[in-house]
């Protein structure tokens, strides 16, 4: 029997009807009518405290949304991922990043082959290498220990380790500078290397394919920088390591197999932080902290696989997302960490979510007739409050948001942290309950100002709390979002693990690259706008 399209499902239709009934019900009413509401809609998972009570939902909403997940076969889909099926159909690959952090000792297979021995052997190799860099036994070409580690990669080979290195800086070996170069803009490389000594600098070229234009351009320039700085080609093997699945290209670059850390086609770029792609992070925080992060990932993987949907944080997060995206028509989703160390977390999630869910064709190849992934954005609190929160509180758009915070600061100084958390909790309250005319009048606000100073409220959010930001908790948080995205992909019936949408621009850029050459003599076969842009840049070099 052909799979029913999303909007034809009876569960979807019931949700539509239910939405029409409750769309105008306010969070104030919902809380007033049910004093147990916060209990009912909180999952205290042990490490993560997930409060979703400030959402425009009732028990019926949840029953219907969970019914929808059931009708989409979510349980089976989760199993298919964990069992290594080739669920990335358009690239004909399995999707088994969960094996990278499988700490159970139980085999995980792709087509009957246990991948765990290879996963663990790469981890071991990473351990030895990272320890030798950290303790100074790894020497550069001139015999000096390494003080600077530069990860060269882009997209999935940059955003994860860059975000996590920043997030876990508290646990870092401070004598080591760990930096990230991603942009093909020469400024990125030049500014990153400006104050560094090649004798003490190690480059980690992170590229699954080892053909990515930006990464290879940066890596070639870094190679020249080393050769120039150390006056010898022989310096390359002591100053370069590679994270890749393309052994031949790595060897051609001059990096020896001992310094290549492998990963596999069943690891998608944006899901690769826990693979060899995490090497720069491991060098920064050390093997034990890295393993602790993997444990956190693994615990959340188990939670996602085993918990009933009613108690399953990633599933509930996904359902909330679908509820606002498809019924309330919210086109964006804000992620607001109240934790400076998580400053890069929204940017990281942007890739994981938007590359996975930015699709307009369903798994049967038909155009979808409903919205898929929203725009993900965010900044750390409290900075965001002084920037875009105005729109969240009084704008015309509904922007659901995740607030992420920690009960303790890692750098406890005076009452900074108490103020930070007070702000976070206050924002969720202000968004949910707003401030009405009656309250404003009671405060003596002049009548003519009342419309401007009214807060409509009824703006939903999740609050995600943990005791302290540790590697373990970071692992849990990331896995939570990964599985949220997976769940939404199942509901929207899209392929979450490909990214064909990034290809066209790359191909066109190759053509334009040659046309930008001042000696290019051919005709510019483009629409008028593009041809003029090319001419402007060529004439003004
Ligand atoms: C992520 C994408 C993409 C990829 C980069 C880098 O899921 O596949 O962001 O990670 O394009 O690719 P390489 O690692 O092959 O250089």
List Cα–Cα distances, 109 to 75, 267, 394, in angstroms.
Answer: 19, 13, 51
Instruction: Kindly report the protein residue whose alpha carbon is nearest to atom 9 of ligand 1.
Output: 155
Q: Which residues 6+ apart lie within 8 Å of 235 measured at CB?
A: 140, 141, 142, 198, 226, 227
Q: How far is the CA of 158 from the centre of ligand 1 (A)?
A: 9
pLDDT at 541 over 90: no
| Per-residue model confidence (pLDDT) at position 348 | 98
> Taking all residues of the chain, what is their mean pLDDT, rounded to a whole number?
97
* Nearest CA-CA partner of 202 in 129, 150, 279, 259: 150
- The residue whose CB lies within 8 Å of the most ligand 1 atoms, and thus the one to mutate among 160, 212, 218, 482, is 212
| Per-residue model confidence (pLDDT) at position 1 | 58
Q: Are 398 and 324 in contact (CB under 8 A)?
A: yes
Instruction: Tell me if 356 CB under 6 Å of ligand 1.
Output: no
pLDDT at 487 over 90: yes
Percent of the chain clearing pLDDT 90 (strictly above): 98
- Least confident span in 146-155, 214-223, 267-276, 523-532: 523-532
Residue 3 is a catalytic residue: no
Q: Are 440 and 454 in contact (CB under 8 A)?
A: yes
Q: Give the mean model confidence (pLDDT) for residues 111-132.
A: 97
From 3, 21, 234, 506, active-site residue: 506
Instruction: Tell me if 208 CB under 6 Å of ligand 1.
Output: yes
Instruction: Tell me if 198 CB under 6 Å of ligand 1.
Output: no
pLDDT at 225 over 70: yes
Q: Give the mean model confidence (pLDDT) for residues 259-276.
A: 97
Give tens-digit pLDDT for 335-376. Answer: 999 999 999 999 999 999 999 999 999 999 999 999 999 999
Query: What is the pLDDT confidence band of residue 2, given thresholds at 50, 70 and 90?
Result: low
| Per-residue model confidence (pLDDT) at position 3 | 77
Give tens-digit pLDDT for 79-117. Answer: 999 999 999 999 999 999 999 999 999 999 999 999 999
| Per-residue model confidence (pLDDT) at position 518 | 86
Q: How far is the CA of 269 from the centre of ligand 1 (A)?
A: 5
From 339, 355, 379, 482, active-site residue: 355
Q: Rounded to whole angstroms, how far apart are CA atoms 485 and 483?
A: 5
- Tell me the torsion sign for CA atoms 180, 184, 185, 191: positive
From 175, 386, 438, 443, active-site residue: 386
- Least confident span in 31-35, 168-172, 521-525: 521-525
pLDDT at 314 over 70: yes
Alpha helices in 23-115 (DSSP H): 27-33, 37-40, 59-71, 74-82, 97-100
Q: Give the mean model confidence (pLDDT) for residues 214-234.
A: 98
Q: What is the DSSP string of 467-501?
A: SS--HHHHHHHHHHHHHHHHHHHHHHT--TT--GG
Instruction: Kindly report the protein residue whose alpha carbon is nearest to atom 16 of ligand 1.
Output: 207
Instruction: Kindly report the protein residue whose alpha carbon is nearest to atom 8 of ligand 1.
Output: 269
Burial 531-540 (b: 16+ CB within 10 A, else e): eeebeeeeee
Residue 355 is a catalytic residue: yes
Q: Rounded to whole angstroms, how far apart are CA atoms 253 and 276?
A: 18
Atom of ligand 1 nearest to the CA of 156: 10
Instruction: Tell me if 352 CB under 6 Å of ligand 1.
Output: no
pLDDT at 490 over 90: yes
Percent of the chain clearing pLDDT 70 (strictly above): 100
Give tens-digit pLDDT for 396-442. Answer: 999 999 999 999 999 999 999 999 999 999 999 999 999 999 999 99
């Amino acid at each position: 029997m052909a799979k029913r399209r999303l909007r034809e499902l009876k569960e979807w239709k019931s949700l539509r009807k239910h939405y029409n009934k409750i769309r105008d019900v306010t969070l104030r009413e919902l809380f007033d009518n049910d004093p147990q509401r916060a209990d009912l809609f909180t999952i205290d998972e042990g490490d993560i405290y997930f409060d979703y009570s400030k959402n425009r939902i009732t028990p019926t909403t949840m029953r219907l949304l969970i019914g929808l997940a059931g009708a989409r076969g979510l349980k089976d889909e989760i199993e298919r991922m964990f069992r290594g099926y080739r669920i990335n159909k358009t690239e004909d690959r399995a999707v088994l990043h969960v094996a990278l952090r499988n700490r159970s000792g139980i085999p995980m297979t792709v087509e009957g082959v246990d991948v765990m021995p290879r996963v663990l052997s790469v981890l071991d190799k990473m351990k030895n290498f990272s320890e030798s860099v950290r303790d100074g036994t790894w020497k550069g070409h001139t015999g000096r220990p390494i003080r600077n580690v530069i990860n060269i990669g882009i997209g999935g080979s940059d955003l994860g380790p860059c975000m996590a290195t920043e997030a876990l800086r508290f646990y870092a070996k401070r004598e080591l500078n760990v930096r990230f170069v991603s942009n093909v803009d020469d400024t990125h490389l030049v500014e990153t290397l400006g104050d560094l000594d090649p004798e003490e600098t190690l480059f980690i070229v992170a590229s699954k394919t080892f053909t990515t234009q930006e990464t290879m351009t940066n890596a070639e320039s870094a190679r020249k920088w080393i050769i120039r700085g150390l006056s010898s080609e022989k310096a390359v093997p002591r100053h370069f390591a590679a994270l890749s699945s393309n052994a031949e290209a790595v060897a051609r670059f001059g990096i020896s197999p001992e310094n290549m850390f492998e990963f596999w086609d069943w690891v998608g770029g944006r899901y690769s932080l826990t693979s060899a792609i995490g090497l720069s992070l491991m060098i920064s925080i050390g093997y034990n902290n890295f393993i602790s992060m993997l444990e956190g990932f693994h615990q959340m993987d188990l939670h996602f696989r085993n918990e009933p949907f009613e108690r399953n944080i990633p599933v509930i997060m996904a359902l909330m997302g679908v509820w606002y995206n498809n019924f309330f028509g919210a086109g964006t989703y804000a992620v607001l960490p109240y934790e400076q160390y998580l400053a890069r977390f929204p940017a990281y999630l942007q890739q994981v979510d938007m590359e996975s869910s930015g699709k307009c064709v369903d798994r049967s190849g038909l155009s979808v007739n409903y919205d898929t992934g929203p725009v993900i954005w965010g900044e750390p609190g409290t900075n965001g409050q002084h920037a875009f929160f105005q729109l969240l509180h009084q704008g015309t758009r509904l922007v659901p948001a995740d607030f992420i915070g920690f009960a303790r600061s890692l750098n406890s100084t005076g009452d900074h942290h108490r103020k930070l958390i007070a702000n976070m909790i206050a924002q969720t309250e202000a968004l949910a309950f707003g401030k009405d005319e009656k309250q404003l009048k009671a405060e003596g606000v002049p009548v003519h100002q009342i419309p401007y100073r009214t807060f409509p409220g009824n703006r939903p959010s999740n609050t995600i709390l943990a005791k302290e930001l540790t590697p373990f908790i970071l692992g849990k948080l990331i896995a939570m979002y990964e599985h949220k995205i997976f769940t939404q992909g199942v509901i929207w019936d899209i392929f979450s693990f490909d990214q064909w949408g990034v290809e066209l621009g790359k191909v066109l850029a190759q053509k334009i690259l040659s046309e930008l050459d001042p000696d290019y003599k051919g005709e510019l076969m483009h629409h008028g706008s593009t041809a003029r842009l090319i001419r402007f840049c060529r004439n003004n070099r």
